[in-house]
Amino acid sequence: MTANDPSSQSLQLTGNGQLKHFLTLDGLDRALLTEILDTADSFIEVGERTIKKVPLLRGKTVVNLFFESSTRTRSTFELAAKRLSADVLNLDISTSATSKGESLSDTLLNLEAMASDMFVVRHSQSGAPHFIAESVTPGVAIINAGDGRHAHPTQAMLDMLTIRQHKGAFEGLKVAIVGDILHSRVARSQIRALNALGAEEVRVIAPGTLLPADVESLGCKVEYDMVRGMQDLDVVIMLRLQKERMEGALLPSEREFYRLYGLSQDKLALARPGCLVMHPGPINRGVEIESAVADGPQSVILNQVTNGIAVRMAVMSMAMSGQVSERTQVAGEQG
């Protein structure tokens, strides 16, 4: 699926425009993204309560279906589901039937037979959550927790919530995403979100070997030089070098990468005063970012982690509400 692909909209949205799956930011408009942010804002205070629960998904079963490991993402989805009062099943794929030869379709059918209401899917293959969304029984919501190099929509939205909390609005903002753009599903989703929400300019800063060939078609400007790229920035988002996905010699060395593209205090000083420093994690200190910057006053990295729970609560509650709404509408039409 590509940006603004009608099939993306029809798969993710109900007939009246409510969210029923959350697979990609492609095709989702500013109004819906703003609704996600506003809903997430309303959930922030839940984490500050003595009893950190609301009953929105009480009686629902959420399955974390992670074919690719990610402690941070899975943990925040699990916390989000539990704060919504759902029952949560974490499926360990390494010991599941799929590792013994069972097909993905059969695994899904068995999970559906257990009356599951939502699958949170992380997969190394781009498009896997879309395949699952097209295959599951109507009424089961699919949330993409990261697929291949394609998309990581909840990470992008928690980043947007963090930016909005600190900057107030997106209009007039210049934002740069720095590092391994080539292998980053997060970067693709961030670019989509920033453009949809009205950022003035989105830049990517990276060596040519870490840029996809079509990167400008995503809606961003390319800068190969970090010193030039840091000028006039309001937000800088650093990315992890995804060495596990790299094939061949894309970099001379980590030391050379840090010298040219690592975020140091000197480079940060080139941006506008108050420029936010962000990183989706996990951080490789001394490779992408200097510790003094990661832990400094302009860093909002820990805010991103906190906001991840609220954004995932928002997306899960909205998708489940959309599924219920669509079932009610279909039942009414059949009646």
Q: Do the beta carbons of residue 202 and residue 191 sit within 8 Å?
A: yes
Residue (of 131, 150, 155, 152) closest to 142 by Cα position: 131
Q: Is 240 annotated in some ligand binding site?
A: yes
Say which residues have a Cβ less than 8 Å from residue 102's Cβ, sequence separation at least 6. 96
| CA within 13 Å, CB half, 43 | 31
Q: Is 155 annotated in some ligand binding site?
A: yes
Q: Is 152 annotated in some ligand binding site?
A: yes
Q: Is 228 annotated in some ligand binding site?
A: no
**How many CB atoms are closer than 10 A to CB 221?**
14
Q: CA–CA separation, 254 vs 262, rounded Å?
A: 10
The answer to whether the bond into 282 is cis (omega within 30° of 0) is yes
Burial class (CB in 10 A: 0-12, 13-18, 19+), 148: middle
Q: Is 185 annotated in some ligand binding site?
A: yes
Q: Is 327 annotated in some ligand binding site?
A: no
Q: CA–CA separation, 155 vs 235, rounded Å?
A: 16
Q: Is 2 annotated in some ligand binding site?
A: no
Q: Is 148 annotated in some ligand binding site?
A: no
Q: CA–CA separation, 203 vs 190, rounded Å?
A: 11
Locate tokens 């900057």: which residue? Answer: 167
Cα 70 off chain centre by:
13
Q: What backbone torsions phi and psi does residue 152 show, to the nearest 5 degrees?
A: -145, 75
Q: Is 281 annotated in some ligand binding site?
A: yes
The binding site for carbamoyl phosphate comprises: 72-73, 122, 152, 155, 281-282
User: Residues forming the annotated binding site for L-aspartate?
Assistant: 100, 185, 240
Per the annotation, where are the binding residues?
72-73, 100, 122, 152, 155, 185, 240, 281-282
